[in-house]
Amino acid sequence: MPKFLFYLFLCLVIFFAGCGDVTEETNRTDINTENVSDYAAGNIKEEDLTKEIPDDLSCDDNNDCTDDVLNEGTGKCVHKRLETCCGDGFCDFLERCNDKTHTTVCPSDCPRTCAGVLTLSEFSCEGSCTLNRDNFVVTGSSILKVQMENIGELPLSSLSSSFTCRQTDSNVVHYDEKNEKEIYNNITIKDYFEGDKNKVVLKGNYFPNNTASYYLEISGIPEKTRLFLCIIRFTGGAVYKSAEIKLNFETESL
């Protein structure tokens, strides 16, 4: 065999033997890379794969204004602030004045800004009078009383009163001057706040002195039966409140 044919044959043997080794290594590489994980991609650290989260781990930070959750990926607690929570130091919209209750929802976060609101209880009477359905039967000197209360938060300053009385079968209206007037014959009526004051201040509902008494004092003994409709008005700043009562004057013989 010529020498060049021998060397050619030897080169071919070596070449094909080398190709067989590369294919085998390639196959092994294909097997090792079938499952590519986040760890292989570098997204998760090696210590995170081996980290164990204790069963008794609690993320509660004793703060009612945070949502406490565990991040299972990092094993760390996350405390997210709630959008609305009374006591977190933030005055949220829903924590301000409640127009129905006239009080601030969360006074620890928001200033008290609910406007003062005047309410009146039903009239009571003492002396020569009785309540008969929707009117007071008056046979002599009497005092009618109503309790006033500020159910709002801001004070009601310089509240004053006035009243008018009209005989139901007459168009004559009796206006009060100096809070006292004679409505017929010897019957006079005057009104005042407790302490014989003509003005009163009511603090907000979170103060103890947010109430006061109003009096309608009737003097004299009726000589004839008369029915009067009286309207009482309370004013002060932007406040206006009225109450209506009926006075049925009767002689004692009836």
- 10-54 per-position pLDDT tens digit: 556 565 555 555 444 444 444 344 443 443 444 444 444 334 445
At 36 the pLDDT is 39
What pLDDT, on a 0 to 100 scale, did the predictor assign at position 24?
46
Tell me the sheet residues that pair with 174. Answer: 165
pLDDT of 223 reads 86
The predicted pLDDT at position 33 comes to 41
Domains, in order of start, for the chain: 64-114 (no CATH), 118-249 (2.60.40.2310)
Per-residue pLDDT reduced to its tens digit, 61-98: 787 788 888 888 888 888 887 777 888 888 999 999 99
Q: How far is CA 127 from the centre of its chain?
A: 43
Place of tokens 């010529």: 2
| Confidence at 241, pLDDT banded by 50, 70, 90 | very high
* Dist. CA 201–CA 155, nearest whole Å: 7
Q: What is the pLDDT of residue 104?
A: 96
Nearest CA to 253 out of 129, 142, 139 is that of 139
Q: How many Cβ atoms sit within 10 Å of the Cβ of residue 216?
A: 24
pLDDT at 181 over 60: yes
Percent of the chain with pLDDT over 90: 43
